[in-house]
């Protein structure tokens, strides 16, 4: 039995999230079905994170155990062939040690959230970013966002369906940057932590948008956080602006035999 680590990107628009669901197609189901066509084996895809319906990934990391002999390159090429025309692309495949786990070996995760700040509706970037018409103050949003940094009880910013046992998380980074992109002015939220609660990033972004448009004072972010009450949440950002950027691992545990 060989353990392979897969790194892949996907457009989350047609999927009910990454994890298998009873009510619709998922990224996990799609990859597992493609793996069965390649290997003839019923394998389980273990992933470094989960994503909601409509959320995208730039470099999701997962692993699978396969009995049939494959080189990483051959497995990657065959898998991509059977994934078509689904919007999933495996761009790296490595052999890893049997004790390497995509989820439990992970020491950090990074996300990006994109807002396109313009009045015209999105055409080419539809389902790839959150279009917000009112002009936003990125500086005020960034200042307010620093209240999230460090260890806090994020109850206000977690979904009522969140299955995490503990609402306390440590946020390492939340930078809000204004940039000029292909579709006009964009506001990017760069977020990093070891792990996140369900809807945490989207909830933080939604409330920061309220700060950016002047509906909330900057201090209200800290007040909402201190409330530890979901009723204090101002707004939950939609999923289609969110991207899973990467999963981080200790240097000795990095996958080997890179393609």
From the list 97, 101, 90, the residue with the least C-alpha distance to 38 is 90
For the stretch 199-255, pLDDT in tens is: 999 999 999 999 999 999 999 999 999 999 999 999 999 999 999 999 999 975 444
Residue 257 has pLDDT above 60, yes or no: no
Residue 150 region by backbone torsions, left for phi larger than 0, else alpha for psi between -120 and 50, else beta = left
What CATH number is given for 2-105 in this structure? 3.30.70.580
Task: State whether residue 27 is helix, strand or coil.
Answer: helix
What backbone phi and psi angles, to 5 degrees, belong to 148? -80, -20
Domain boundaries, the chain: 2-105, 108-245
Active-site positions read 52
* pTM reported for the whole predicted model: 0.94
For the stretch 2-44, pLDDT in tens is: 999 999 999 999 999 999 888 889 999 999 999 999 999 999 9
Under a CB-based contact definition with an 8 Å cutoff, are residues 27 and 10 in contact?
Answer: yes
Which residues contact residue 219 at a Cβ distance below 8 angstroms, ignoring those fewer than 6 apart? Answer: 144
Q: Which fold has domain 108-245?
A: Alpha-Beta Plaits (3.30.70)
For the stretch 107-120, pLDDT in tens is: 999 999 999 999 99
161: confidence class by pLDDT, cuts 50, 70, 90? confident
């Amino acid at each position: 039995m060989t353990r392979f680590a897969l790194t892949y990107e996907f457009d989350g628009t047609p999927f009910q999230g990454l994890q298998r669901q009873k009510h619709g197609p998922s990224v996990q189901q799609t990859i597992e079905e493609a793996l069965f066509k390649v290997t003839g084996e019923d394998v389980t895809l273990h992933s470094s994170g989960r994503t909601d319906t409509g959320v995208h990934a730039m470099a999701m990391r997962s692993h699978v155990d396969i009995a049939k002999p494959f080189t990483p390159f051959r497995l990657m090429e065959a898998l991509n062939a059977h994934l078509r025309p689904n919007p999933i692309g495996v761009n790296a495949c490595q052999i890893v040690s049997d004790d390497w786990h995509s989820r439990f070996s992970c020491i950090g995760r990074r996300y990006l959230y994109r807002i396109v700040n313009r009045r015209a509706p999105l055409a080419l970037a539809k389902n790839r970013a959150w279009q917000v018409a009112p002009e936003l103050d990125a500086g005020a949003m960034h200042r307010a966002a620093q209240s999230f940094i460090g260890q806090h009880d994020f109850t206000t910013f977690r979904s009522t369906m969140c299955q995490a046992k503990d609402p306390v998380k440590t946020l390492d980074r939340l930078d809000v940057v204004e940039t000029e992109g292909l579709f006009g002015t964009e506001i990017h939220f760069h977020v990093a932590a070891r792990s996140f609660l369900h809807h945490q990033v989207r909830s933080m972004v939604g409330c920061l948008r309220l700060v950016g448009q002047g509906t909330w004072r900057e201090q209200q972010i800290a007040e909402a956080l201190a409330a530890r009450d979901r009723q204090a949440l101002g707004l939950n950002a939609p999923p289609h602006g969110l991207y899973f950027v990467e999963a981080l691992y200790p240097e000795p545990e990095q996958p080997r035999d890179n393609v």
